[in-house]
Amino acid sequence: MTAPVNLYDNVYADFASDAERAVRREAYGEDLGQSSWLTVEEWLGFADQLGAGPGAEVLEVGSGSGGPAVYLAAARGCRVTGVDLNEHGVRNARALAESKGVAQRTRFEAVDASRPLPFADGSFDAVISNDAMCHIANRAAVLRDWHRLLKPGGRALFTDAMVVTGPVSHEELAVRSSIGFYLFVPPDANEAMLCEAGFTVLAVQDVTGNAAEVASRWHAARARHRAALVAREGEANFEGLQRFLRCVHALSVERRLSRFAYLAEKSA
Ligand SMILES: C[S@@+](CC[C@H](N)C(=O)[O-])C[C@H]1O[C@@H](n2cnc3c(N)ncnc32)[C@H](O)[C@@H]1O
């Protein structure tokens, strides 16, 4: 059996350490504080598709360390509410927003996003979620809740790196899902669930290339900072995460598991 490995507690609790900063810089080019397959170009492109400009109310589901949300609030002048299950991530996000001077336009809550979110109907212009949806159960109900939270004409965008587009063995599935709950879906399932939730699907973009590239660079960066990382997370977890990153790279390059970005709109 593949042993579970811990990613998020480690990177969020140790977010500002020299090793974590160096790994992010080497893996992503520009360090947004992300813990995913996201680069800054991709993040700003998603924000543009959502129309997340000055004054817009944006909800980020699975906001992780808070780095991408804080960056978005600073770069685009929008207000961002981030929710994440991980308390280290939420704590880090609040401190980061304070240190970057955007605490007035951001808020972060520790919430399980598989349940109805504690916000009023029609309170957001946009919902964004990067590489978190695969970890969240009850997807059909979650999308109905996002629809409820959006204003008429509001947009939602989420990425899903777990779309099964080729043959994948049970060992590969086990390694790929060794860091927590994962939902794997067949092609077209997300489009169908968005439609059932009341959305119009505007675009589906294949963003598998970023997962392949980032996984490879992240693996190499962690290998370069091995000593510091092993001292923190232990040998077994270090090797488990390296195995996970090699698996993501292989499955993505061979397009057996694909990552898509789904852009959808609530009718005006
Ligand atoms: C791959 S990380 C992405 C974080 C961030 N969006 C980024 O791009 O760096 C996935 C995030 O989903 C969060 N998550 C997992 N299950 C969740 C749930 N049920 N509700 C809210 N967040 C959840 C994890 O704690 C983690 O921060």
- Split the chain (268 residues) into runs of 10 and give each run's mean pLDDT: 80 90 96 96 98 97 98 98 97 97 98 98 98 97 98 98 98 93 97 98 98 98 97 94 97 98 96
- Tokens representing 148 are 């409820």
Domain extents in the chain = 8-266
**What predicted TM-score, i.e. pTM, was given to this entire model?**
0.97
- Atom number in ligand 1 closest to CA 35: 9
Residue nearest to atom 13 of ligand 1 (CA): 62
- DSSP alpha helices (H): ranges in 57-207? 67-76, 87-99, 139-149, 170-176, 189-196
6 lines ligand 1 (CB under 6 A): no
34 lines ligand 1 (CB under 6 A): yes
- Atom number in ligand 1 closest to CA 136: 19
DSSP 2: P
DSSP 134: G
Phi and psi torsions of 57, nearest 5°:
-95, 115
| CATH code of the region 8-266 | 3.40.50.150
- Atom number in ligand 1 closest to CA 67: 9
What 3-state class would DSSP assign to 81? Answer: strand
Distance between Cα 212 and ligand 1 center (Å): 19
